[in-house]
Amino acid sequence: MKQICVVGVGYVGLVSGACFADLGNRVIALDIDEKRVENLNKGIMPIYEPGLDELVERNVKAGRLSFTTSYEEALKGAEFAFIAVGTPSGVDGDADLQYVASAARAVAENMTDELILINKSTVPVGTGDWVANIVKEAQVEPIGFSVVSCPEFLREGSAITDFMNPHRTVLGSQDVEAAEKVAHLHLPLRAPIVITNLRTAEMIKYASNAFLATKISFINEVADICEALGADVKEVAVGMGYDKRIGPMFLDAGLGWGGSCFPKDVKALAFMAEEKGLDPKILNKTLDVNYIRRDMVVERTTEMLGGNVKGKTIGLLGLAFKPNTDDMRDAPSIDIANALNTAGASVRGYDPVSMDVARDMLPAVEMYDDPYSMAKDCDALVVVTEWNEFKQLSLKKLKGLMKKKPVIFDGRNIYDPAHVRELGFNYRGMGRGFNGTGI
């Protein structure tokens, strides 16, 4: 059993801390947000993540996991301290490192024994060296420490599975012995471990997320070509995915990506490149293609409603940026709803888990407790988030509730176009041959 401190009980810190505890370690998770810590001690989660509440409860009861606001308490006896605080985007796309700096400084001021400090937050290349300097300057007295980069690769909605079954663990440090000690923490996961230097490890995280984001933007651009030529992008993606050099994942055409990782990381990597005098053309185009999708939804829904949405009632099926999360950060629903409201439409919304978060972000959207009540008297429905619940809806019932000539714009391609049209809907998906064969 190792003694671990985790600084930050947001998405990454809470999942990582609970999982390390479940592997048999003693974990004290710290956050400066007193209300968040108070709620966690009561068993109230700050985020929605499938299975997280049970995981936290089990390890708290076993005495392996606890929560505090005290750095002194969290660091007492700790061999490892993970920094897992937020690094939001700045105005120009650069990562805001104020919370990382604050955490590093507080660790330095409160550590009493040698410590391995591990950057779990997604941070710009070079941050590990910067953190080391902060710790040296802030220490009350010189105490030995090492800095290790251990970037996270957790997907919201499947974070626990991703932690426990990683494709690889990436570690970077100038101190190989420290990196090997952190590697030992991850040995029970039985996954490949890559040990490199600090800056390379930091770069692996950005390059990985930027590549996946680019893959999504690529298939979305292909979807537009498919639509113009009468091909079906879903079948194209299947045919591509069988090629092991390409693979099937991240080839779902739709509204593009949102959330806290891809937008921030692609912007940050582009910013770092530009700071060095480079021109990151692919990264910038990846961003452009992604955000154009949101405007496209509004334009095409407007076309399907006769060229004007003023006075029309439009329901959004899904608000979170992806299924199995309540995360509304950079969610496509925000831009879509705001654009429709601005154009004079009355916008409704339904999401299985994110409506409490969405209400404050979308005050002009009327929220409903179930999709059928939302659909009543709607002129159009827009599929924004591909929740499994929406795949099982009775389309026949929806048609009976909606106004005459009901419209469905399927922004996630979850329905069969021929079937939906047979039921009498004016249906359109993303890249499903609309301008060609009409499949």
Longest dimension (CA), the chain: 75
Q: Domains (ranges, CATH) in the chain?
A: 3-196 (3.40.50.720), 230-428 (3.40.50.720)
Instruction: Give 198-210 as a DSSP string.
Output: HHHHHHHHHHHHH
Q: Distance between CA atoms of 223 and 229, rounded to whole angstroms?
A: 10
List pLDDT tens digits, range 238-296.
999 999 999 999 999 999 999 989 999 999 999 999 999 999 999 999 999 999 999 99
CB 255 within 8 A of CB 294: yes
- Quickly tell me which residue has 């979308």 as its tokens: 362
Sign (positive or negative) of CA dihedral 69, 72, 76, 78: positive
pLDDT band at 439 (very low <50, low <70, confident <90, very high): very low
Distance of CA 189 to the CA centre of its chain: 23
pLDDT above 70 (res 437): no
Q: Is 261 a catalytic residue?
A: yes
Mean pLDDT score, 357-361: 96
pLDDT of residue 89: 82
- What's the pLDDT score for residue 436? 44
Q: In this predicted model, what pLDDT tens digit does every residue of 263-278 receive, in sequence order?
A: 999 999 999 999 999 9
Dump pLDDT digits (tens) for 81-125.
999 999 988 767 788 999 999 999 999 999 999 999 999 999 999
Identified catalytic residue from 19, 150, 226, 261: 261
**Separation of first and last alpha carbons in the chain:** 58
Neighbouring C-alpha atoms within 13 Å toward the C-beta of 98:
4
Q: Give 427: exposed, middle or buried? Use CB within 10 Å, 0-12, 13-18, 19+.
A: buried
Specify the 3-state DSSP secondary structure of 145.
strand
Q: What is the distance between the alpha carbons of residues 322 and 317, in angstroms, rounded to a whole number?
A: 12
**One-letter amino acid of 244:** K
Q: What is the pLDDT of residues 147-206, one digit of tens each?
A: 999 999 999 999 999 999 999 999 999 999 999 999 999 999 999 999 999 999 999 999
Sign of torsion, CA 5 167 24 196? negative
Phi and psi at residue 21, to the nearest 5°: -65, -40
